[in-house]
Structure 1
C-alpha cells in the first residue's frame, strides 16, 4: 500500500513536472497547492534530492526543481525510494527478500499469489514515467470538461 509519504512525494514531483524547466518552486507553495504538511514535505523532498530526483537551492531565491526530465523518472523507482519494496509481503520481494518462518516457500500459495501481485504492480509502475502520470491527469481533466459541455 502506498503510504502518505509516497503519495505526497509523487504529488510534489507532479507539481514540479508542471513547472517550466529549471524554474524553482518554494516548499511552502508546493505544500499549500497540494495539501501537504510543509514540515513533512521538507523531509520527503530531502529524500528525493538524495535519490537524485530533485535539486535544491538555499536562500531567498531558493527552492526545488526536477533534476531529470519527467520522462526519465519512473514511478516505481520513486515509490521504492520513499516506501520501500513493492511486494505486499517480504518473501515476495525482489529487492528486500526475507524468508518466512511459517511456510514452505515452494508450495506456499499465498507467496505465489503475492509474487504475481508484486509483478503486476512493478510492471505498471516501472513502465510509467512522471511525464505520463502528469499527462494522464491532464487528460482526465480535459475529458471531464468535454463531458460537461
Structure 2
C-alpha cells in the first residue's frame, strides 16, 4: 500500500540514505552514490537489527528469559556468529554490487 511505502521512504530519508524533492518533477534519489550505501544499512533501517535473537543484538539487546548463563549459552554463541557473518556480508555489499550481480544474472 502507498502509505506503507511512504513510511519506508521517510525512514530511509531520515537515515540519510535518500533525499526527497517536492514538486512536479519531485521524488526520491539516493543521498550518496550507490557504491557508498551498503545493503546492511538499508536492511537495518527497514527491518531493524540483523540479530535473529535479542540477546545478541547490538542495538536492541534483551536478555533471554530462559537463559541461565549467557556466557555459556551455545545458542547465543552460535547466533552471535550468525549475526557477525550476516553483518559482514551485508555491510560489505553495496547497492552498486547488488545491481551489478542482478544485471550479470539477467
TM-score in terms of structure 2 length: 0.92
Using the TM superposition, give the Cα deviation of residue 77 of structure 1 relative to its aligned residue in structure 2, in angstroms: 1.2
State how far apart, in whole Å, the 2-side matches of 1:71 and 1:127 are: 10
Q: Does 1:63 align with 2:27?
A: yes
Using the TM superposition, give the Cα deviation of residue 61 of structure 1 relative to its aligned residue in structure 2, in angstroms: 1.7
SS of structure 2 residue aligned to 1:101: coil
State how far apart, in whole Å, the 2-side matches of 1:45 and 1:124 are: 24
Structure 2 unaligned blocks of 5 or more: none
Partner of 1:123: 88
**How many residues get paired?**
105
SS of structure 1 residue aligned to 2:70: coil
Q: Does 1:94 align with 2:24?
A: no
Q: Does 1:140 align with 2:100?
A: no
Partner of 1:38: 2
Using the TM superposition, give the Cα deviation of residue 95 of structure 1 relative to its aligned residue in structure 2, in angstroms: 2.2
Partner of 1:74: 38
TM-score in terms of structure 1 length: 0.67
Using the TM superposition, give the Cα deviation of residue 65 of structure 1 relative to its aligned residue in structure 2, in angstroms: 0.9
Partner of 1:47: 11
Using the TM superposition, give the Cα deviation of residue 83 of structure 1 relative to its aligned residue in structure 2, in angstroms: 1.1
Deviations 1:13-66 (A, max 9, x none): xxxxxxxxxxxxxxxxxxxxxxxx333221111111111111111122211111
State how far apart, in whole Å, the 1-side matches of 2:42 and 2:19 are: 15
